[in-house]
Structure 1
């Protein structure tokens, strides 16, 4: 189980805090937009496989560091992942519980579909 990621300055005084949408503000079209990009889907798949938090640095992506930062930001701002600084590392985790409550089965179906796509001969 993942460690809850706090997102308010009162929870962790002196810590840099990133903005995350409240669960109620997460919209289906935003989640689908975030998952539609192959690089962002790769990030989500890696986080799902890890079943916990991972730092940005351990997720190898075929894009520049600034582009990686953009993709992580889109996923965070659209409610797909949560991020928190732990020391100098920015840790990432899926907002699986939030997504499962709002859109039951969506995340699992997307992950399954991505896996099936990888096995197609034309992939």
Structure 2
């Protein structure tokens, strides 16, 4: 196994995915309260699952802050991530989140 493959494997092992049913309402509300995170959610909702890598979002924040926002969304059960090579792809966990918090994601996604 190459050094790059080992690095990607170790990186993927660091991902923790929480199911929305294991998230407190306050944590879900905190996750969707931030405007940058709402931008991420709207962009994910607009495209197919697994089609957006973290680096493809045009966000007004640094790379470290971007990583923090993705981690908050993952911890709230809103997104799922997987590594493909050097890219980390994202999926909005809408069905799972809607089952646990009906209507909340609709409000966030339709906000103007």
Q: TM-score, normalised by structure 1?
A: 0.75
Are the aligned partners of 2:20 and 2:78 in contact in 1 as well (CA < 8 Å)?
A: no
Give the superposition deviation at 1:97. Answer: 1.0
Which runs of 4 or more aligned residues in structure 1 lie more than 4 Å from their structure 2 counterparts after TM superposition? Answer: none
Tell which has more relative contact order, 1 or 2 (C-alpha 8 A, sep 6+). 2
Where is the helix percentage greater, Structure 1 or Structure 2? 2
Does residue 46 of the first structure (1) align with residue 43 of the second (2)? yes
- CA distance in 1: counterparts of 2:107 and 2:34, whole angstroms: 16
- CA distance in 2: counterparts of 1:41 and 1:85, whole angstroms: 22
The aligned counterpart of 1:24 is 21
Give the superposition deviation at 1:100. Answer: 1.0
1:69-88 CA distance string (max 9 Å, x none): 11111111111111111111
Q: How many residues align?
A: 101
The aligned counterpart of 1:5 is none
Could you say what the CA RMSD is over the residues aligned between the two structures, in angstroms? 1.5
* Structure 2: runs of 5 or more not aligned: 1-8
The aligned counterpart of 2:3 is none
Q: TM-score, normalised by structure 2?
A: 0.82
